[in-house]
Structure 1
Amino acid sequence: MSDQPITNLSEPRPASNWAAATGSWLPAVILLLATIVVWEAVVRIFAISAFIIPAPSEIAQSLVAQWATLMQATLVTAGEILFGFLVSVMVGIAIALVIVRFDWLGRALYPLVVLFQNVPKVALAPIFILWFGYGLAPKIGLILVIAFFPVTLSMLAGMQSVDRSLLSLMNSVGASRTQILFRIRVPHSLPNLMAGTKIAATLSVIGAIVGEFAGASDGLGYVIQFASTQLDTALVFAALLLVSVLGIAFYYAAEILERIVVPWAPKFSQS
């Protein structure tokens, strides 16, 4: 018999981990770079006016030239998104708890929530401006009405999918509806809730920009609107790039929070 030690094949290798990590984002980076190269080439070859479609190099130049203005606008919009997102999550959770805890109120409230979700949110923007003025409040209100619904719906799905045998067991030991709600239904709904918060995070970005379109003196939405009136398409694209970065940042922040709160929940895999 050989005296050579047996290697544990189940232990991850650093090189393999690095390859797996890079393999998850490397295709996206390659596709992005290829898109930029083709975009630049098409604009140059066909001499497309920057007013119609600016080349990536022109967008980069505008980004550098207006860096201070864009960073200030980004901070304003990011604050609106964060505040509105937190309010949306809290309101969404509260509505879901009320619907599940109180049957009679839930039967009345749920159809109204679904009905309200079908109202065009853009149409609410001027109404909120009329009610709350041009400050932070109308932006937060618009983010709320756009982003709360996936939180409510996801949490409801989680709380209502509890195993019936577990509910029967809790009832047999004399647990109250409130005890069942907070000890069984809420913990069971956490994976669904965190999935809903990721959707709400991206919708909050949309809500903030729509609110700034309706009435604002700062923020990326205001920059986009102002640049459009000045026919500065490169600046519009630069601001849109920063909006996309904000959306990605808030989404992955919500995903990191999900891994902390519900580490047992299944994760999306590209393999």
Structure 2
Amino acid sequence: MANQAEPVTMATAFAEDAEAQARFRAHKRYLAWRGRLLPVAAVAIFLLLWWQAVEIFDIQPFIAPSPVAVAKVLYDRFDMLMANLLPTAIEAVSGFILGNLAAITLATAFVYRKTMEEALFPIAVMVNTIPVVAKAPILVLLLGNGMEPKIAIAAIICFFPTLVNMTRGLRDVRAEQLELMRILSATPREVFLRIRVPNALPYLFSALKIAASTAVIGAIVGEWIGSTKGIGALIIQSTYNFDSPLLYATIVVGSTFSALFFGVISLAEKRLLRWNVAHNA
């Protein structure tokens, strides 16, 4: 009798396990679809409320155009908007790369040279406290009216958050890990690559996601000073001309690019940090 009951019990266990896995996959699909649909629904509700507010309160177009007017400008002047987005995108991405590379390099130096951190970190804090609108004219005077000052502004804005997070990530290593590497006679390079860098990656990506948005802001602010093309220049032109639909359309284009940039960094984070249990949870 015991031999006959055993296969039944095992079959039941396998069936229950299959059902549990199916429920888990179904719940995971539900969460994925909910994560996609909720933002879309929120944007749709916001646009509906915006449209209703313009219609009910009879708001003048030069103050706040309706979403329909903004959509019409996006469609009719799409080529012009994309032509102005291109330089802004180049400036933002270039500043993002340069600023973060500089921050990662300096953070590495801070971890191994405490004296350098004590000397340079206060300067980095002081530079970070200067408003962007004050930095922009200085950099324009130093670098001219080309892309260089816009890239520099974007890089400076990206620099400080990455410096702080990367320094903390490289340094915030458990003593047990360092002791184990010492026992294994690991070289300083092996300790850096196998312990410090993996530990710092979650901190780094948190900073990179912030920098992805702020780099676009820096490029746009830089274009407010002495630029004839770009999203920032188009914002100034449409404001002075009281072309409110174009102003809103320009803001939509800039915000969409910033969101896409943020999404690319988030996707890279998910791909590279699959090993991080705390991150995936």
Fold conserved (TM > 0.5)? yes
Of the three residues 39, 42, 67, the one matched with 2:50 is 39
Aligned to 1:251: 262
1:9 aligns with 2:39: no
**1:68-91: CA deviation from partner (whole Å, max 9, x where unpaired):** 100111222112111111111101
Aligned to 2:148: 137
Aligned to 1:197: 208
Of the three residues 92, 110, 120, the one matched with 1:81 is 92
Equivalent-residue separation in structure 2 for 1:223 and 1:173 (angstroms) = 59
Q: How many residues align?
A: 269
CA-based RMSD of the aligned residues comes to: 2.2
Please give the TM-score of this superposition, normalised by the length of structure 2: 0.88
Aligned to 1:220: 231
Aligned to 1:165: 176
Aligned to 2:78: 67
1:25 aligns with 2:39: no
Secondary structure in 2 matching 1:9: helix
Letter paired with 2:33: T
Secondary structure in 2 matching 1:11: helix
Task: Show structure 2 runs of 5+ residues with no match.
Answer: none
Letter paired with 1:186: V
Aligned to 2:271: 260
Letter paired with 1:199: I
What does 1:75-114 correspond to in 2, within 5 Å?
75-114=86-125
Equivalent-residue separation in structure 2 for 1:225 and 1:142 (angstroms) = 18
Equivalent-residue separation in structure 1 for 2:108 and 2:259 (angstroms) = 29
Equivalent-residue separation in structure 2 for 1:205 and 1:165 (angstroms) = 41
Structure with greater helix share of residues:
2
Q: How far apart are residue 242 of structure 1 and its match?
A: 0.8
Q: Structure 1 residues 104, 79: closer, same or farther in 2, change over 3 A? A: same
Say which is worse superposed, 34-43 or 49-58, in terms of deviation: 34-43
Identity of aligned residues (%): 32
Equivalent-residue separation in structure 2 for 1:181 and 1:111 (angstroms) = 25
Q: How far apart are residue 51 of structure 1 and its match?
A: 0.7
Please give the TM-score of this superposition, normalised by the length of structure 1: 0.91
Q: How far apart are residue 67 of structure 1 and its match?
A: 1.1
1:120 aligns with 2:116: no
Letter paired with 2:56: I
**Max radius of gyration: which structure?**
2
Q: How far apart are residue 117 of structure 1 and its match?
A: 1.4
Equivalent-residue separation in structure 2 for 1:10 and 1:196 (angstroms) = 38
**1:175-225: CA deviation from partner (whole Å, max 9, x where unpaired):** 555553344222211111111111111111111111111121211111111
Q: Is the 8 A contact 1:101 1:177 kept in 2?
A: no
